[in-house]
């Protein structure tokens, strides 16, 4: 490809700052310094989260919010920031520091040139961890003006430049079976907690996905056992066993309904064991599903700007579109990173995807 662009240089600067989850202070400092150097109209810093608006809002002008997270997952290999051929490499390249660089690039232009829509941007910490630990509520409380009255929010998570609508909710439940420990040579003296889990595991393996359709897009609701923990050793009949059950629920379910569903599903699967109080269900974490806002006017404007060449898809995963929906905002997923590269060894973002996303968003916001 061509020589390194200014946007790629900015992305490499962000990639060079380690920001593994809960260690985002240095990159937040960089972002705040960048915004101050560009003479951004309004900047709010709360912890390791930064919100800004490039210029004062105008009366009656639609409002757009761009969001990106600053943290990455822990490194799994040696992948220094660099450009090699057609790709831009580094931990977080796709998820989502190249998108963060694009957000800063758009904000910088909006300071110098009035955009079509009023613009706000939020770069926040701790997205890669539990729902309750995210930095987004912290920055929302500190900078409510960036969230109030928003006509469309774009979570710039990796989508390969597709528009991905909505998102699945996700729930993790620890299902614990309480048996009786014994020597494996005399199993009749105990009650095998792993064997007690068999009916639940069998039912999970036989459960078909449930398809949910919105705006012509299909979401697949699925339930899986993802972890198993037990008490004992290889010559011990375990006295307890815990299965982690992950429920990825459709946009037609509220979080409370999903919690009730998992309790009912376990009770029906294990029958009398549940009645004897030998099975407990503890919901560990719930992230809400995201509303599908296919008729949003700003979304249609973005698609028109792309000349009908941009693909719509269902978000078959969870993103902060779920959190934004809970705030009452219309939100979509759109970003230059590749979903298949998120959290991968040798993570990269394709240079052409970053440039294409930049061209589209600059054309949409500045004509």
Distance CA 11, CA 17 (A): 10
Q: Does the annotation count 127 as an active-site position?
A: yes
Q: Helix, strand or coil for residue 284?
A: strand
Marked catalytic residue, from 118, 127, 157, 353: 127
Q: Please tell me the distance from the alpha carbon of residue 310 to that of residue 239, in angstroms, as a whole number.
A: 55
* Torsion angle, alpha carbons of 326, 328, 332, 336, to 10: -70
Q: Is there a contact between 279 and 262 (Cβ–Cβ < 8 Å)?
A: no
3-state secondary structure of 98: helix
Rg (CA), the chain: 23
H or E segment and range at residue 177:
strand 169-178
Contact 300, 307 (CB under 8 A): no
The catalytic residue among 24, 32, 48, 71 is: 71
DSSP track, 121-164: EEEES-TTS-GGG-SHHHHHHH-GGGTTT-SEEEE----TT-EE
- Residues carrying an active site annotation: 71, 127
């Amino acid at each position: 490809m061509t020589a390194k662009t200014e946007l790629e240089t900015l992305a490499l600067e962000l990639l060079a700052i380690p920001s593994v989850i809960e260690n985002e202070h240095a990159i937040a400092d960089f972002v705040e310094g960048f915004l101050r150097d560009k003479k951004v109209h309004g900047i709010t810093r709360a912890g390791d989260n930064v919100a800004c608006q490039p210029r004062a809002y105008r009366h009656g002008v639609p409002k757009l919010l761009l969001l990106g997270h600053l943290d990455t997952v822990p490194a799994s290999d040696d992948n220094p920031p660099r450009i090699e051929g057609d790709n831009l490499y580094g931990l977080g390249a796709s998820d989502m520091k190249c998108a963060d660089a694009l957000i800063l690039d758009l904000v910088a232009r909006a300071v110098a040139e009035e955009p079509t829509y009023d613009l706000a941007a939020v770069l926040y910490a701790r997205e890669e961890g539990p729902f309750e630990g995210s930095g987004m509520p912290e920055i929302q409380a500190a900078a409510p003006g960036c969230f109030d009255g928003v006509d469309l929010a774009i979570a710039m998570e990796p989508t390969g430049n597709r528009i991905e609508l909505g998102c699945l909710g996700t729930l993790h439940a620890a299902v614990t079976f309480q048996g009786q420990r014994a020597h494996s040579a005399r199993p009749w003296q105990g009650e095998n907690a792993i064997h007690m889990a068999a009916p639940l595991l069998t039912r999970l393996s036989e459960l078909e996905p449930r398809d949910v359709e919105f705006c012509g897009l299909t979401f697949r609701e699925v339930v899986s056992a993802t972890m198993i923990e037990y008490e004992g050793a290889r010559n011990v009949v375990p006295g307890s066993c815990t299965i982690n059950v992950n429920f990825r629920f459709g946009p037609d379910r509220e979080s409370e309904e999903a919690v009730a569903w998992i309790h009912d599903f376990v009770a029906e699967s294990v029958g009398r064991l549940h009645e004897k109080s030998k099975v407990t269900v503890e919901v560990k974490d719930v992230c809400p599903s995201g509303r599908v806002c296919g008729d949003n006017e700003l979304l249609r404007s973005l698609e028109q700007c792309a000349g009908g060449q941009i693909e719509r898809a269902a978000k078959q995963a969870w993103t902060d579109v779920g959190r934004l929906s809970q705030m009452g905002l219309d939100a979509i997923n759109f970003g230059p990173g590749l979903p298949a590269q998120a959290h991968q060894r040798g993570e990269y973002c394709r240079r052409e995807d970053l440039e294409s996303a930049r061209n589209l968003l600059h054309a949409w916001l500045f004509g």
